[in-house]
Amino acid sequence: MDLNFTAEEDAFRAEVRQFLKDNLSDEIVAKMRGMEELTKEDLENWHATLQSRNWLAAGWPVQHGGPGWNATQRHIFDEECSAANAPRIVPFGLGMLGPVLLKFGTEEQKAEILPRILDGSDWWCQGYSEPGAGSDLASLKTKAERDGDDYIINGQKTWTTLGQFANKIFCLVRTSSEGKPQEGISFVLVDLDTPGIEMRPIRLLEGGYEVNEVFFTDVRVPVANRVGEENEGWTIAKYLLTHERTNIAGVGASTQALAELKMLAAKVSRKGKPLSIDPIFMAKVAETEIDLEAMRITNLRMLSADATGREAGTVSSMLKIKGTVIRQSINDLARRALGPAACPFPSEEVIGNLAVAPPEAARNAADYFNNRKLSIFGGSNEIQRNIITKNLFGA
């Protein structure tokens, strides 16, 4: 047992840190600290910066343009990026479609699509959920019917994150109604410019706009855009659920959020003293910090064990549940730290001119509400518990 990083790992950390220092602008760091929505351009620019160093596609193998990192390196990279307030890497192309193509795509699909993800030509979004198919994803109804060399797609997807920035969507569609629902699903790639597609915004409870509904009316898509075999899309969906585990616990982001919380507590006062010496409030901060510290080790421990199959499912579900609960409690404390200063709706006027709260904390309440999503999306925490239960009892 040795919890220290090796000398090479420390050197790698230093290299990442230096790169971030040289390449992250103050403007982006301020936006990240203040939890401002980044523009499409901000995100694209950051992707390009990472790509210039070959660090964008952290999980991809070298021959396809990835850095070839192991799990520990990826963990270090994530920690450093979060600590430096770097924008997150938009996951849909890099973390989801990329790995799917690497595992299930044809050589033509890999050759055509992967480079366009790396150079930013395409922005992908994820079309899985439907109004009637959330937790029960396999009940999805969006239909793709064969017509010669095309599929004709009809139906509706929803909750499509950052669809407003995307030019492509990968979808799970129903290609057969025979057998079990899971057996009639296919994975298809759709160009959002195709006639018959309409996207409508959904406003979230805190006022932000990051998700959409996508309507498909007689949308014609070449059969060649299918990934994997017809009716085997469910295998792909399941693969994705367990494949991307490295960042699922969000340890880096939580660590940074906790550091911000402590700085805030030192800045605001209660009873004439800094909140950071108030035992009642700080006891809660300390508990959360203890949980996070354990999570950091749990995460490293589970990543270093090469889990497969059922075990892998349990691990990613555990990391997701505990990681999101910790993050949400940091958000809760960050809102509470402000007292009534958390109340104003974070308009530009309120943040810029009135400065009721410190500017980096003005969106703390909004962020708290927005991050309630963490325990809902990507398979809700209830569904994760069901997965663990199934694995536990071998059902």
Other residues' Cβ atoms within 10 Å of the Cβ of residue 329:
18
Judged by CB under 8 A, does residue 390 bind another protein? no
The residues with which 209 forms a beta bridge, in sequence order, are 203
DSSP at 38: P
Give the DSSP letter of residue 246: T
- Catalytic residue, chosen from 244, 289, 349, 382, is 244
323 binds another protein (CB under 8 A): no
Residue window 348-367: x/- pattern of binding to another protein, with contact defined by CB under 8 A: -xx--xx-x--------xx-
- Tell whether residue 135 is a contact of ligand FAD (CB under 6 A): yes
Binding residue for ligand FAD, selected from 376, 388, 390, 391, defined by CB under 6 A: 376
Q: Which of residues 19-78 bind another protein (CB under 8 A)?
A: none
**What does 139 interact with, of ligand FAD, another protein, none (CB < 5 to 8 A by kind)?**
another protein
- The sign of the torsion formed by the CA atoms of 55, 58, 63, 68 equals positive
Angle at 6 between CA 5 and CA 8, to 5 degrees: 120
Which residue from 117, 111, 112 is spatially nearest to 98, judged by alpha carbons?
117
Q: How many residues form the binding site for another protein (CB under 8 A)?
A: 54
Q: Give 277 or 343: the residue with its C-beta nearer to another protein.
A: 343
Cβ distance to ligand FAD smaller for residue 73 or 126: 126
What is the chain's length? 395
The Cα–Cα gap between 225 and 239 comes to 19
**From 55, 373, 388, 391, residue interacting with another protein (rule: CB under 8 A):** 373
CA dist 356 and 344 (Å) reads 8
Check residue 159 for interaction with ligand FAD (CB under 6 A).
yes
Q: 45, 235, 386, 391: which one contacts ligand FAD (CB under 6 A)?
A: 386
User: Considering Cα of 253, then 254, then 256, then 260, what sign does the dihedral take?
Assistant: positive
* In the complex, minimum distance from the CB of residue 31 to ligand FAD, in angstroms, rounded to a whole number: 20
Judged by CB, which is closer to another protein: 307, or 376?
Answer: 376
| Pairing, β 150-158 against β 143-147 | antiparallel
Stretch that binds ligand FAD, among 10-18, 73-81, 124-132, 285-293 (CB under 6 A): 124-132
Nearest to 169 by CA among 242, 131, 113: 113
Contact 190, 170 (CB under 8 A): yes
- Total residues in contact with ligand FAD, by rule CB under 6 A: 17
Rounded Cα distance between 275 and 20, Å, is: 32
| 164 vs 380, beta carbon nearer ligand FAD | 380
**Which residue in the shown chain puts its C-beta closest to ligand FAD?**
134
For residue 156, state whether it binds ligand FAD (rule: CB under 6 A): no
Q: Of the two residues 70 and 135, which places its CB atom closer to ligand FAD in the complex? A: 135
Among 116, 310, 372, 390, binds another protein (CB under 8 A): 372
Measure the CA–CA gap between 146 and 223, rounded to whole angstroms: 8
Q: Residue 260: phi, psi to the nearest 5?
A: -60, -40
- Position of tokens 């964008």? 56
Q: Is 206 in the site for another protein (CB under 8 A)?
A: yes
Nearer to another protein, 222 or 339 (CB): 339
CA distance 305 to 299: 10
Residue 200 as a binder of another protein (CB under 8 A): the answer is: no
For the question of residue 112 being annotated catalytic, the response is no
Of 112-120, 221-229, 314-322, 374-382, which segment contacts another protein by CB under 8 A? 374-382
CA distances from 100 to 15, 94, 106, 128, 187 (A): 30, 10, 11, 14, 10
Q: Calculate the alpha carbon distances from 72 to 9, 13, 123, 304, 323 in Å.
A: 8, 11, 28, 8, 18
Active site residues: 244
What residues make contact with ligand FAD under the rule CB under 6 A?
126-129, 134-135, 159-161, 211, 373, 376-377, 380, 382-383, 386
Contacts to another protein by CB under 8 A: 129, 132, 134-136, 139, 158-159, 202-207, 269-272, 278, 280-281, 284, 332, 335-336, 338-347, 349-350, 353-354, 356, 365-366, 368-369, 372-373, 375-377, 380-382, 385-386
